[in-house]
Amino acid sequence: MRPALAALFAGATFIALSPIFVRLTDVGPSASAFWRVALAAPLLWPLARLGAKPGAPRTGWPLLLAAGFAFAGDLGFWHWSIRYTSVANSTLLANLASIFVTAAMWLFWRERPSATFLVGLAAALAGVALLVRTSLAFSASALLGDALGVVTAVFYAGYILVVKALRDRGAQTLELMAITTTVTALLLLPVALASGEAFLPQSARGWLTLVALAWISHCAGQGLIAYSLAHLPAAFSSVSLLFQPVMAALFAWLLLGEALVPLQMMGAAVVLAGIYLARRGAR
């Protein structure tokens, strides 16, 4: 269990670095979302081929396209959220996805949530209200960033649900990552080109930042978490979900000088507690 637990925390840390890389890059938000997956795909495909199991069941393209669409929305809206609001707020709000997943199971599949989930949902919403109040004190653009963070969570929840369906049908992790990453890149390319924002990095440092975003946050981060969750009890998935926004806020403070104000820290703590309770109540 120890290697898997170490992989879980390392993966969550690598993903927590992604908003830092987004802030440091010299291209626009849509462009950084595109390069994140476009530069990751060439690394993922050879790994997927090496890890392929003979005779593994093939998955349907409609679900794969749906996963790519959901992930494109997730990345696109999240990168814009990072542009407008704090790293802590954007990451915390994006992690509301687990609550939306359970809500979708309740609404569409009639899986009634427990009382613990409802308490967690109420706590998370109260925490979001505190975060939004903090953003209002800064600027209207920060409030827009918070709203985009919530939209991100909706798309991420859709991605989680589709990936779960694919995994239930026997899809392999690396192959699934390679295909959805490629589909996401194809969907984000016209968006990035049409946005009118800076598309190509202007320096070697800019390219290195994008490569780090693709290889460290996307490939290594997602890959390590996928590996760890295959070897750990399901309860540990909550650890990565809570650890990631905490590390993102820490990195933003150390590297970008984004200190949290008291009301924001209170809101973050309430959101994390709500997510934790909701995850426990969803089992």
Residue 116 near residue 66 (C-beta atoms within 8 A): no
Residue 28 corresponds to which amino acid?
A: G
Residue 79 corresponds to which amino acid?
A: H
Tell me what pLDDT residue 57 has.
Answer: 47
- Residues 214-238, mean pLDDT to the nearest whole number: 77
- Residues 23-39, mean pLDDT to the nearest whole number: 96
Tally: H helices and E strands in the chain: 14, 0
Tell me what pLDDT residue 191 has.
Answer: 96
Residue 131 near residue 271 (C-beta atoms within 8 A): yes
pTM: 0.86
- What sign results for the dihedral spanned by CA atoms 283, 153, 155, 115? positive
- Whether residue 272 is predicted with pLDDT greater than 50 in this model: the reply is yes
Identity of the highest mean pLDDT range in 197-206, 230-239, 262-271: 197-206
Task: Please choose, from the candidates 78, 75, 65, the residue with its C-alpha nearest in 3D space to the C-alpha of residue 188.
Answer: 75
- Tell me the DSSP string of 255-272: HH--PPPHHHHHHHHHHH
Alpha helices in 17-114 (DSSP H): 18-24, 29-38, 41-50, 61-84, 87-94, 97-109
Q: Which residues contact 164 (CB under 8 A, 6 or more apart)?
A: none
Residue 222 corresponds to which amino acid?
A: Q
- Residues 12-29, mean pLDDT to the nearest whole number: 93
Q: Mean pLDDT in the chain?
A: 84
For 66, 78, 132, the CA distances from 126, given in Å and listed in that order, are 32, 21, 10
Tell me what pLDDT residue 139 has.
Answer: 72
- Residues 89-101, mean pLDDT to the nearest whole number: 83
Residue 97 near residue 164 (C-beta atoms within 8 A): no
Residue with the bigger pLDDT between 211 and 110: it is 211
Tell me what pLDDT residue 271 has.
Answer: 82
- Whether residue 216 is predicted with pLDDT greater than 90 in this model: the reply is yes
User: In whole angstroms, what is the distance from residue 239 CA to residue 157 CA?
Assistant: 18
The count of other CB atoms within 10 Å of the CB of residue 111 is 11
User: In whole angstroms, what is the distance from residue 6 CA to residue 129 CA?
Assistant: 34
- Tell me the DSSP string of 140-183: HHHHHHHHHHHHHHHHHHHHHHHHHHHHHTT--HHHHHHHHHHH
pLDDT in tens, 136-172: 777 778 889 999 999 999 998 888 888 878 877 777 8
- Whether residue 17 is predicted with pLDDT greater than 60 in this model: the reply is yes
